[in-house]
Amino acid sequence: PVVLGIETSCDETGVGIVRGTTLLANVIASSMDEHARYGGVVPEVAARAHLEALTPTLDAALAEAGIALDEVDAIAVTSGPGLSGALMVGVGAAKALAVGSGKPLYAVNHLVGHVGADVLADEPIEFPTIALLVSGGHTSLLVVRDLVDDVELLGETIDDAAGEAFDKVARILGLPYPGGPQIDKAAVGGDPTAIRFPRGLLHPKDAEKHRYDFSFSGLKTAVARWVERAEDAGEAVPVADVAASFREAVVDVLLTKAFRACADLGIPRLLLGGGVVANARVREEAAARAASQGVTLRIPPLSLCTDNGAMIAALGAQLIAAGRAPSGLVFGADSTLPVTEIQVDRLPSH
């Protein structure tokens, strides 16, 4: 089926079109620049930007796919999790589009969408797989046994998301938003072993309760204290060493937990997704550990790793292929939608 997917959970307005597992179009408008001066995504600004961007993005996606709306078989939209106001714009637009065109509507889970993006790859991963999703809003470790039927949350961050940590540490170092690419640049030539920053929840005492959880706020505070101390002592802050050492701590925690899950569950497959996967060290170190531990690693192209509409369309197409009924119109934006709810057909209970 030809499915059009709409994604507005954060600061990217995404409209993607797929035919089954073939990508036809993936158009993204980001309001990231508007959030730069605040150092993070401002929900109200994001929602307003979605309103402005949605219609042009939809038109651009249809043009890129070279099809008319008539030729679309179904519409898929992100119901959650994400920013409420931002999600509502996409949900409202998708409902209007579905009612106006008479097309079936599938409301889907954003996080599972990140995993679903991989079905568009030339050699998609097999299930079951472990999936690590790392972005500005999420740090989640999942076991995906069946994309449309069985997704379980192994662990997630108990405070800041990994991307958020990059953004906050960049700010501490006087670098602009978004911090991820800036830290990557600043770390060039830096010594990753120069400063031993803390690895959150990697202590043996955390091996039980927080075995698969993450924590990055202590790391951020440690970097802030280290920089403050250097400044107070009148020393020049070695930005490259701090950036490289911070990045190493994040990468070490993320990958140690992800590969631990592969080993514990006997699932030698790992899929990465989310904006932080753009990080040079994440990719390099993940490849190295995968090779040494006999794990098949999949990293979708970056345009499918960051928030986009194609992944939502792809998940919708998988639901249709599995014979699922449409969601109907009685669903809403659910900012805290659990990852176990892959398709949504009810209003949030909170």
Known binding residues for Fe cation: 110, 114, 307
CB of 156 to Fe ion, least distance (A): 13
DSSP state of 322: T
- Using an 8 Å Cβ cutoff, are 188 and 243 in contact? no
CB of 80 to Fe ion, least distance (A): 11
- Residue 184, interface with ligand ATP (CB under 6 A)? yes
- Residue 11, interface with Mg ion (CB under 5 A)? yes
> Which one of the spans 17-25, 139-147, 163-171, 220-228 is the region binding ligand ATP (CB under 6 A)?
163-171
CA neighbor of 29 nearest in space, from 6, 1, 2: 6
CA 62/CA 45 separation, integer angstroms: 26
CB-based contacts of 43: which residues, under 8 Å, 6+ apart? 83, 84, 85, 86
326: tokens are 């449409």
- Rounded to whole angstroms, the maximal C-alpha distance in the chain is 68
Of the residues 3, 4, 6, 10, which one makes contact with ligand ATP according to CB under 6 A: 10
- Residue 5, interface with ligand ATP (CB under 6 A)? no
- Using an 8 Å Cβ cutoff, are 127 and 145 in contact? yes
CB of 342 to ligand ATP, least distance (A): 17
- Residue 213, interface with Fe ion (CB under 5 A)? no
| Binding track over 12-41 against Mg ion, x by CB under 5 A | x-----------------------------
CA 292/CA 295 separation, integer angstroms: 8
Helix/strand/coil percent split, the chain, to 5? 45, 20, 35
CB of 181 to Mg ion, least distance (A): 12
Look up tokens 């400044």; give the residue.
231
Of the residues 167, 184, 213, 307, which one makes contact with Fe ion according to CB under 5 A: 307
CA neighbor of 226 nearest in space, from 245, 204, 210: 245
Q: Which helix (H) or strand (E) holds 93?
A: helix 84-101
Q: With contacts defined by CB under 5 A, how many residues of the chain interact with Mg ion? A: 3
Q: Which of residues 124-183 bind Fe ion (CB under 5 A)?
A: 135
Shorter beta-carbon distance to Fe ion: residue 111 or 154: 111
> Which one of the spans 6-14, 21-29, 58-66, 198-206 is the region binding Mg ion (CB under 5 A)?
6-14
Give the binding site for ligand ATP (CB under 6 A).
9-12, 82, 135-138, 163-164, 166-167, 178-181, 184, 274-276, 278-279, 306-307
